[in-house]
Amino acid sequence: MSNSPQQFYDDLADSYAFIFPDWKAAVERQGNIISKLIGEPPLTVLDCSCGIGTQAIGLAKLGYTVHATDISSKEVEKAKEAADEMGIDLTFGVADFRNLADDVDGKYDVVISFDNSLPHLLTNKDITKALDAMKTKLVDGGKLFISIRDYDALLKEKPKATMPQVTQTDEGERVYFQTWQWSDKLPIYQTNLFILVPENGSWKVNTSSTTYRALRKNELSELLEMSGYKDIVWLESQQSGYYQPIVTATK
């Protein structure tokens, strides 16, 4: 059964960092990549789908003033714990990115939503609601950055699974993979995510499921235009250095 995005990330909060061979190295690497895209600090940044803090903590470490929110209170708590452990200063809150106007104070130079978060919303109505809410949090001339999977390519093949990633750690191997069940009628698919970690001579399996929309680039560009954004530009991975395509737009 497919979970809501909130339940999906609540279930994965304790094990999500295991997806990365070295999560703290990923924090630093992604912070550096995104910094080159958004401009040098000082800038104010709202990460409105922060998860366990991979991008938000990386940017705060570089000197940006960051407020990080997510729909999953458990992931926000994990992000807080990680930031405290690393001695990095930023603020946190729990918010659905469709409700940012009500749930987040102030305006920001930059709003980001990375790691394929927006396609959790399955309808144009909900995506537009999120884009409009993000726009309310931007100063005039502020920039929005969103990353999604390359669904234009994925829809051609509709893969049924990702290749397992095996990582060697001091505690033993970790294994991470996903299975994807595509709808026959709609451009949506159910993700079943598996993280296997060694425990007491056996394997502990962490798993959760959710549904995504396979959102094409031109569809998101059109929705951004309808929400009044300007200067809409797509950056492919070879241009940005990030592992997913990124769209940027200006208020």
pLDDT of residue 1: 56
Compute the average pLDDT of residues 157-164.
Answer: 96
- Sheet with 165-169, edge to edge strand ranges: 165-169, 172-182, 188-199, 202-213
Answer yes or no: is pLDDT of 18 > 60: yes
Domains in the chain with CATH codes: 5-149+216-250 (3.40.50.150), 153-212 (2.20.25)
pLDDT band at 168 (very low <50, low <70, confident <90, very high): confident
Strand 108-113 relative to strand 44-47: parallel, antiparallel, unpaired? parallel
> In the prediction, which pLDDT does 127 show?
98
Write down the pTM of the prediction: 0.97
- What's the rounded mean pLDDT across residues 96-113? 98
CA atoms in the 13 A half-sphere facing the CB of 45: 32
Share above pLDDT 90 across residues of the chain, in percent, rounded to a whole number = 91
Average pLDDT over residues 217-235: 98
> For residue 101, what are the contacts with CB-CB under 8 A and spacing of at least 6?
133, 136, 137
**Residue range 82-108: average pLDDT?**
98
